[in-house]
């Protein structure tokens, strides 16, 4: 009797212990699975790319655009999602679906007909297409210290043949057991007992999930017991579909450099360049087969072993009647076809660093590295590629133009900074902060403080439009100015002085003496105020040399200031970050277009028209010889001893600022036109398909008159040198030319 009581008590204690352990495991599992399940890096995306008939685009360039988005070239007539096919001048592509907050780009078949370097026609299954958007490029991922990369999937959007492949090869009774498969356990136990060590596993998918998620990967009977117990608890808490989805997002499937690939979503994109829902049977079987040993069965490193393992999975699916004999034969005969690129490699790295800098003002690093945010930016991937190419090839060209004897042996290479802005929206379309990010990650667009030289002059003249007009007379003479108790005389670039010149000529030809004369007459404090309103934040002192750019700015500051001139006097907030979206599709951060009124459209236009003249016949006239045959307004900048070379130019829809120089401030022996201007022209030629340069619009408040070039007054029949000139409507000349008027 006593023995029975003791046994009963023992059973009760064991039951209580088991129940307590189960409750403990229940709490542990719930805490882990109801909280954040995985560390998922944030993904940084470019903007979409518009495509339409009439657009300048070649077959090779369109292929490059598709391949940069991981599209694969199809070998047969069937073009699946994420693939394209070239037939002469026709490219057929199956565009992937891509979802944004509030809208999505549909997945669909399209045919691009190209002719003589242009898109002649775009067709879809529904007929002609007037306009479509190509999905963004994934530019980078912001990883945490674990360097795990996941692209989470939804089991309800997963193709059935992938689920069947996983279950067939790993746990074909998955939907029948309750977390443990006792048949498999007994079979494995018998093998282990005979071997007197753990040599075979009988783990279910649920047990494998528990092992990967909670336990150490050691092979012991104690760990197997805890694993089985937790699997039963897990199955009691979650549905089979939820467990399988967790497993498919957790499983390790290989390595990309230092980055671990976890989950079928990431693996599908990495190995095949496609979304998981677009995997075919052969691809699904190959990925399922990799679970046994991702390094052994890697299709990249061991393609033959991967194919053999794939066929094992397919045969198992056939045995379990998950596929037909025809499906089996077709899949077995399918050759291995991997994605051509192993993206996302970090593209536009200087731009990504700029975005990361902005994000860190909004989010903790741990959030960016683990919560799977989707970060949509303003970067135009094709314009960005053109910018990087222009900097790389342009600097190589300039290297041959800079005398070797003029360079110190300790000096680093010639560097450049280039930023592309859309003035109407403030969108930063491209940003290149140096020659080679791998050798120097210092972002010169943001952090290089350099003197702008003559590139600052347009703002001196903008400020002075309050008192002057384009025909006002200025003195271009070597005058002395008192600065800090000493006398200083500004000198013109070519050493010549022209005496009396017009306001237009002084800016167009970048005459230093006339500019300082204008600045001192108008008031240096007024010029400082204008520069501040245009966004120049650097230290500014009201000295005469201010008018010649004798202070420091960053290329980003200067581009922002010029955006005022290019945008009808409205200063845009320069925008690189558009939206930050959570995994659930919730928009956490959205940046809107924002403007500040600095000056009137009329005044901005008059300066723009003079800068257009500067490119036509002034200091930027070399542009025409470099293929710039469309309307452009721009200004060169060259500092003392040629330390800095600048060119800022803009069309009616695009603004580009370029700086060239040495980091240690050595002389480049390059003027603004010869150095930065050359890179600017190279970029604009390369990026030509992506902007639409037209004439600058004459805004209200501007009047056009024919004047005498000599007197600046309204022309009369006797004036031999007449020019058309623009004026503010409240500053139009009222008198006729007194020089050529015939007296009564």
529 and 522 Cβ atoms separated by less than 8 Å: no
Q: Which residue in this structure is represented by tokens 């199809």?
A: 74
- Concerning whether 170 is annotated as a catalytic residue, the answer is yes
Bridge-based pairing state of the strands 148-150 and 259-262: parallel
- DSSP code at position 553: B
| CA dist., res. 674 & res. 135, Å (int) | 38
| CA dist., res. 650 & res. 634, Å (int) | 6
615 and 621 Cβ atoms separated by less than 8 Å: yes
Could you list the beta-strand ranges (E) of 678-717: 702-708
CA–CA distances in Å: residue 476 to residues 3, 179, 654, 684: 118, 90, 33, 34
Peptide bond into 50 cis (omega under 30): no
| CA dist., res. 235 & res. 255, Å (int) | 30
| CA dist., res. 187 & res. 189, Å (int) | 5
**Radius of gyration over alpha carbons of the chain, in Å?**
34
Nearest CA to 398 out of 658, 663, 669, 621 is that of 669
Interhelix angle 303-319/325-332, rounded to 10 degrees, is 180
DSSP secondary structure string for all residues of 575-637: B-EEEEE-TTS-EEEE----EEE-S-HHHHHHHHHHHHHHHHHSTTGGGGGGT--S--EEEEE
- Concerning whether 46 is annotated as a catalytic residue, the answer is no
Q: Which member of 138, 148, 170, 557 is catalytic?
A: 170
- DSSP code at position 263: S
Q: Which residue in this structure is represented by tokens 């009988």?
A: 202
Nearest CA to 510 out of 637, 682, 602, 690 is that of 637
Q: Which member of 454, 510, 576, 671 is catalytic?
A: 454
Question: Two tokens at 677?
Answer: 């201007």
**Catalytic amino acids?**
170, 454
């Amino acid at each position: 009797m006593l023995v029975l009581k003791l046994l009963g008590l023992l059973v009760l204690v064991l039951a209580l212990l088991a129940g307590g352990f189960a409750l403990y495991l229940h709490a542990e599992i719930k805490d882990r699975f109801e909280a954040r399940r995985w560390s998922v890096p944030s993904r940084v995306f470019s903007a979409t790319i518009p495509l339409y008939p009439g657009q300048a685009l070649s077959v090779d360039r369109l292929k490059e655009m598709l391949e940069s988005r991981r599209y694969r070239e199809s070998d047969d007539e069937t073009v699946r999602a994420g693939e394209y096919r070239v037939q002469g001048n026709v490219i057929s592509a199956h565009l992937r679906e891509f979802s944004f907050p509030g809208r999505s780009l549909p997945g669909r078949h399209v045919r691009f007909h190209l002719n003589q370097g242009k898109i002649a026609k775009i067709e879809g299954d529904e007929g002609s297409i007037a306009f479509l958007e190509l999905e963004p490029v994934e530019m980078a991922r912001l990883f945490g210290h674990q360097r795990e990369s996941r692209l989470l999937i939804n089991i309800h959007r997963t193709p059935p043949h992938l689920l069947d492949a996983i279950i067939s090869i790993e746990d074909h009774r998955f939907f029948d057991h309750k977390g443990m498969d006792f048949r498999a356990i007994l079979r494995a136990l018998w093998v282990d007992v005979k071997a007197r060590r753990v040599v075979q596993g009988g783990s279910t998918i649920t047990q494998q999930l528990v092992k990967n998620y909670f336990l150490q990967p050691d092979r012991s009977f104690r760990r197997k017991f805890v694993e089985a117990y937790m699997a039963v608890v897990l199955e009691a808490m979650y549905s089979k579909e939820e467990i399988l989805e967790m497993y498919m997002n957790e499983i390790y499937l290989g390595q990309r450099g230092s980055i671990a690939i976890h989950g079928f979503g990431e693996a599908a994109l990495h190995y095949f360049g496609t979304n998981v829902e677009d995997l075919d049977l052969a691809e699904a079987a190959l990925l399922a087969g990799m679970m046994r040993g991702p390094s052994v069965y890697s299709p990249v490193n061991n393609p033959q072993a991967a194919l053999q393992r794939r066929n094992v999975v397919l045969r198992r699916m056939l045995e379990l009647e998950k596929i037909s004999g025809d499906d089996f034969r077709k899949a077995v005969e399918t050759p291995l076809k991997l994605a051509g690129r192993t993206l996302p490699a970090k593209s536009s790295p200087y731009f990504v660093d700029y975005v990361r800098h902005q994000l860190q003002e909004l989010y903790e690093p741990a959030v960016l590295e683990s919560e799977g945010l989707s970060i949509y930016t303003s970067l135009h991937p094709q314009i960005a590629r053109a910018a990087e190419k222009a900097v790389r090839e342009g600097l190589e060209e300039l290297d041959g133009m800079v005398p070797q004897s003029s360079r110190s042996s300790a000096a680093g290479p010639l560097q450049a900074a280039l930023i592309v802005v859309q003035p109407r929206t403030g969108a930063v379309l491209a940003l290149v902060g140096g020659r080679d990010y791998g050798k120097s990650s210092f972002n010169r667009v943001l952090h290089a403080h350099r003197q702008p030289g003559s590139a600052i002059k347009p703002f001196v003249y903008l400020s002075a439009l309050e008192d002057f007009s384009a025909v006002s007379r200025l003195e271009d003479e070597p005058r002395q100015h008192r600065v800090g108790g000493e006398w200083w005389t500004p000198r013109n670039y070519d050493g010549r002085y022209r005496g009396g010149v017009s306001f237009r000529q002084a800016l167009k030809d970048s005459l230093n003496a006339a500019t300082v004369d204008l600045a001192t007459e108008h008031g240096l404090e007024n010029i400082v105020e204008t520069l501040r309103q245009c966004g120049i934040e650097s230290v500014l002192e009201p000295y005469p040399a201010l008018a010649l750019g004798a202070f420091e700015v960053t290329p980003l500051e200067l581009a922002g200031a010029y955006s005022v001139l290019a945008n009808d006097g409205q200063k845009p907030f320069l925008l690189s970050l558009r939206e930050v979206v959570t995994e659930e599709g919730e928009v956490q951060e959205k940046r809107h277009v924002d403007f500040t009124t600095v000056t009137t459209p009329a005044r901005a236009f008059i300066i723009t028209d003079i800068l257009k003249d500067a490119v036509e016949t002034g200091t930027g006239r070399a542009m025409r010889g470099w293929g710039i045959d469309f309307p452009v307004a721009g200004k060169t900048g060259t500092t003392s001893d040629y330390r800095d070379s600048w060119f800022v130019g803009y069309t009616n829809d695009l603004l580009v600022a370029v700086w060239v120089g040495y980091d240690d401030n050595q002389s480049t022996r390059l003027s603004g036109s010869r150095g930065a201007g050359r890179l600017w022209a190279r970029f604009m030629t390369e990026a030509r398909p992506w902007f639409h340069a037209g004439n600058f619009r004459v805004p209200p408040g501007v009047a056009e008159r024919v004047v005498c070039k000599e007197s600046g007054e309204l022309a009369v029949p006797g004036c031999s040198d007449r020019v058309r000139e623009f004026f503010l409507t409240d500053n139009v000349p009222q008198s006729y030319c007194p020089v050529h008027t015939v007296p009564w």
